[in-house]
A and B are shown apart, each in its own frame.
Chain A
Amino acid sequence: MPAVTPVIELDGLSVRLGGREVLKDLSASVSGRALGLLGPNGAGKSTLINALLGFHVASAGSARLFGADVKQAKALRRLVGYMPENDAFISHMSGVRYVRYMAELAGLPAEQALERAHEAFFYVGLGEARYRKLGTYSLGMKQLAKLAQAIAHGPRLLLLDEPTNGLDPPARLRMIRLIREIRDAGRIHIVISSHLLRDVEECCEEVLILKDGRIAAHCDLEEERRANRKFVELETLGAGTAFTGAVTGLGCECAFYPNGAGLARVKVVLPETVGMRELFRLAAEHEVQIRRMNYRRDSLEDIFLAAMKDVTGDAPGRPR
């Protein structure tokens, strides 16, 4: 069986902007249909997307799209559709003309571009507004028009930077549905940069979590869901590193969130061989009160919080 070329490969990628290292030694390989880029503001999500587009030059390492170095940006941009985070339009143009223009710039002949522009507008649900000037569009309509220009030329990779920014709940649902439809069409890979966990959870199979320009976690959501591991969330009084160390010693994964005044939340992933009795025993040994206990399934929020807490800069906070 032939080896599948990864969609995105990062090999020690570092990017410096204004004398500051914004991306630090990123290494990852992504082959899935939909990748979510998560991280707090300033984590480097947009910078990573810009580096993939060739807007920012790597100060060290390299990045590849479909096996080709992003230094060959011009050739790669044929394959990419990009929806920027900020407003990006030409206000005095009608919607369909704007998308046609962008499709022509991507290389489509004028007639094809016009046809695809109409299709894209109907596809995103702006068919009736396609002859209106972009300057008269609402924020939600502008977001959809940005999506239309990103897909009109039929890219192989769609880079969506905060696609649900500023959308009201119905518009957000519509955007998410569209992204999922595009993903499920099967011939396109999607990268979604967002700080909204729910958006990523609903659309993506794989997640790359960035913190301070480093990869804090890289996990396959499908695998995580399939694993269906037993999570126990404990609200404790008196728990500390000794208790969490003992829990880890049982073979559990453990995350510790102090809440002050001796209170703490402890999240524990229990292997099959470890029962609840063991946790109670350890709590008794360490004089820890367990005030509340919840069984939970793994969620993206857990992964994200663990990654945010655990990242030290040397290794991802959560193993794949």
Chain B
Amino acid sequence: MTVYKRSYRPYEGLLTSERWRFLVVARYGLQEVLESRLLVAFLVICCLPFLVEAGVVYVANTPSARVLLGIDGDAPSPMRREFFMGALSFQGMLAFLLTAWVGPVLVSPDLVNGALPLYLSRPLSRAEYVLGKASVLAVLLSAVTWVPGLLIFSLQAGLAGEGWLGANIRVAWAVFAGAGTWIAVLTLLGLALSAWIKWRLVASAALFAVFFGGTAFGEMWREVLRDPWGRLANLTYLIGLVWKDLFAIASTRPMAREMLDDRRGADLPVWAAWMGLAVACGLCLLVLNRRLQAREVAS
């Protein structure tokens, strides 16, 4: 309708599918966060380690490149699982920083500005709203964790030749599942803190507090009480255990450390790590469920 015909008219056209309506929230959320040039720059920086890792993979599998760089050894050195887990650990840290940056701006502005009743007065449930917002973080975190991780894996598989892929297919699964678990924890934590705390800086600080405070608490508990179960509060430790299990990497602690750990209380079982992460996610969902109401005050 031309703008000079200013009269109300109903809409009688087609409607989009309700099933994928949460993607509207995700799309607008992504566009919004990517408007920040600083964030885009940070995303680019997050991808730099993968260029280095791709370089390492290339050199490790290319004798001529090793000779050129003056590295000993004629035979290509096969990339081990520890390499991929190390890469995932580093990217996991960057994903954490990204969550601290983006997470707080996802939900709290809607709560502060009273926009939630507008969302929820549309054919959009609270779960879909959360799913849409979570998708924003999930996409960004995927872009710096498992997506490049699997690209490195593919590069390695391509360069290493036959046999390597079949013997190490577990690594691909470990990269995907390990990153996915970390993304789920970070996303829910980021959203829950954003729903709970309306000030961006405070919410970011709270995310750091959850991780570093949890680590400090868990290790103090272990030291003082000689009991490893306090480490359930240490999310970094829990995800590390899960990753080790997924990559099937045995503990490489030296004998002296092993004996010391026996006195302090050794590692938690892997199931406990999974349970700890699941409980953390559950708590975040509880916070979201409590905070994300179409809150209206009866006049």
Contact = CB atoms under 8 A, between A and B. Distances in A.
Interface of A: 17, 22, 41-47, 50, 53, 55, 74-75, 77-78, 80, 82, 84-93, 101-102, 104-109, 112, 115-116, 118-119, 122-123, 127, 149, 151, 153-154, 156, 161-162, 181-182, 185, 187-188, 193, 195
B123 to A, nearest CB: 5
Nearest to A187: B10
Nearest to B31: A97
B38 interface: no
Say whether chain B's binding surface is mostly helix, strand, loop, or mixed.
loop
B199 to A, nearest CB: 15
B114 A84 contact: yes
A100 to B, nearest CB: 9
A80 B113 CA distance: 21
26 contacts: A42-B298, A42-B299, A45-B299, A46-B299, A53-B120, A74-B124, A75-B123, A77-B123, A82-B118, A84-B121, A86-B114, A90-B113, A91-B113, A92-B109, A106-B123, A107-B16, A107-B122, A108-B15, A109-B14, A119-B3, A122-B3, A123-B7, A151-B8, A154-B10, A162-B299, A181-B7
A86 to B, nearest CB: 5
Nearest to A77: B123
Nearest to A104: B24
Contact of B16 (A46, A74, A77, A109): A109
Contacts of B11: 108, 112, 116, 153-154
Given A45-B299, A46-B296, A46-B299, A101 B24 contact: yes
B10 A105 contact: no
Interface in B97-120: 109-110, 113-115, 117-120
A79 to B, nearest CB: 10
B106 to A, nearest CB: 12
Interface in B3-19: 3, 6-16, 18
Contacts of A44: 298
B29 to A, nearest CB: 10
A46 B298 CA distance: 5
B123 A50 contact: no
Interface string B269-299: 0000000000000000000000001101111
Given A107-B16, A123-B7, A123-B8, A90 B115 contact: yes
B25 interface: yes
Contact of A53 (B8, B25, B294): B294
Contacts of A50: 294, 296, 298
Given A90-B115, A118-B3, A188-B10, A106 B297 contact: no
Contacts of A91: 109, 113
Contacts of B154: none
B82 interface: no
A115 B5 CA distance: 13
B25 A105 contact: yes
A84 B116 CA distance: 10
B123 A74 contact: yes
B42 interface: no
B1 interface: yes
A116 B13 CA distance: 11
Contact of B296 (A41, A78, A84, A107): A84
Contacts of A108: 11, 13, 15-16
Given A55-B296, A127-B3, A185-B9, A88 B21 contact: no
Given A55-B296, A77-B121, A119-B1, 12 more contacts: A50-B298, A74-B124, A77-B124, A82-B121, A84-B118, A89-B118, A104-B16, A105-B24, A107-B16, A109-B15, A154-B10, A181-B7
A190 to B, nearest CB: 11
A120 to B, nearest CB: 9
Given A84-B118, A107-B21, A149-B118, A17 B298 contact: yes
